[in-house]
Every structure is written in structure tokens, then in C-alpha cells.
Amino acid sequence: MTHPRSAGSGSRRIPLFGLLAALALGGASAADPASDFKPTPLSPQPDRDAGLRAFSEIERVLKHPRCLNCHVPDAPLQGNQATPHFPPVQRGKDGRGQAPLQCTTCHSIQNSPLLHAPPGLAKNGKPDWHMPPAHMKMNWVGLSGAALCRAVRDPKTNGGKSLAATEEHLVNDPLVAWGWQPGPGRELPPLDKAAFDERTREWIRNGAPCAPGDAPLTR
């Protein structure tokens, strides 16, 4: 894959391009996409098998350490081997850490360029690295197939999100997008982001099925 941002990263020859890429990235993680985002319409003739195949591709990403490291019982994991986070930190009530150690004590508004230094990201210019809150842990450890699919799809376990909000999260959320901009030394998820987004739309278009017996969802 020739990805313009990875190809351009570290290059001093094309600062304008770098700037534009940074702006495009900023745009994708700031307020605009909410207004641009259009939920994928459900197909009048959903193809359940195609939907299940699409989810099985999505699953490969969800279970990758870039995603799973935050989608855990109570303490985040780290690195390509998903080892316990060092130093040990806890989720805390709001997912932002437990005093005196907030996630943003170490995780700033951007990835560190150094190997093994904390990754970071911003929301509205402020550091926003965190895991899901204690009342809705979105812990996927040990889940697979239909169970993982339902955990992601069901508003009772996904942060109260409708199917449209789930799609918007998967396609536009900066925490998800970070998985493909994780900083040095961190492996990328198995599909590229465009393919992941396309599989997401395909799953939803076909009624977001989780199991062969599922009736297609209607929004």
C-alpha cells in the first residue's frame, strides 16, 4: 500500500503536503465530519451472508492490539503483544485514569516520535486519550464472532449508540482512526482504513447481521 501520510512522514521535502495532510487529518477528527456524515442506507434486499463476511473482516481489526489494548476489563494493555500497561494504570470512573495519574498526564495531543513513548491525540485541541468509562467498559477480551458483533451493535453495551452512530464512530472517530496512525513501532491493523470503512458500510447495508439466524436490522 502506498499511503501518502506514511510515505510523507519524516520527509522535509514536501512540507506543504504534510501540512495539507495534517489539516485533512484534523478535519477528519474535528467537528466537520459530523455534518458530512451520511449513514449508509439499509439495503431493501439485505444479503445476510455478505454482511456476515464483512463483519468477520471488521472483527480482525477489533481484535488487533491497536484496538483491543483499550477494550479490556480495567487496565489498558500495551504494544503489539498486548502486555500489561507499564506503569500500571487504572480505567477510573470516566475512563480517563485514576488520580493522581490521568491518561493525559502522559498521553498528549499527539503521538511521540520516539519508540515506546506514549501515543496521543487531540479533540478540539485538548488531549483526549482515554478508555471507555466504568459503567460501560466495552471490554471485548474473550469475545469473538456473534458475541463480539452484538457487543458492538447493541446500544446496551456500545455506549448507547444507534447503528448510524456506530457507523459514524467506526468511520470517523479519532480514537478509531488513531489505530492507523499509531506512531513508531506499532503495527497497523490487518485491513487498511479505507477497506475497514467499506466493510463497515457493507455490514450495515446488509442489516448488520451478527449470526446466520439474525433477521436483518431495520434502523
- Helix (H) or strand (E) holding 176, with range, is helix 174-178
Q: Which is nearer to ligand HEC, 29 or 158 (CB)?
A: 158
The least distance separating ligand HEC from the CB of residue 134, rounded to whole angstroms, comes to 11
CA distance 198 to 79: 27
Helix then strand count (H, E) for the chain reads 10, 6
* Residues at the site binding ligand HEC, with contacts judged by CB under 6 A: 61-62, 65-67, 69-71, 76, 78-79, 85, 87, 89, 91, 95, 97, 101, 103, 105-107, 116-119, 129-132, 138, 152, 158-159, 161, 165-166, 169-170, 175-176, 179, 182, 186, 189
Q: What is d(CA 218, CA 55) in angstroms, rounded to the nearest whole number? A: 17
Q: By the 8 A CB rule, do 106 and 118 touch?
A: yes
**Closer residue to ligand HEC (CB): 17 or 109:** 109
Residue among 46 and 92 whose Cβ is closer to ligand HEC: 92
- Assigned C-alpha cell, 98: 485514576
The grid cell for 52 is 456476515
Name the minimum Å distance from CB 140 to ligand HEC. 9
**Shortest approach of ligand HEC to residue 13 CB, angstroms?**
29
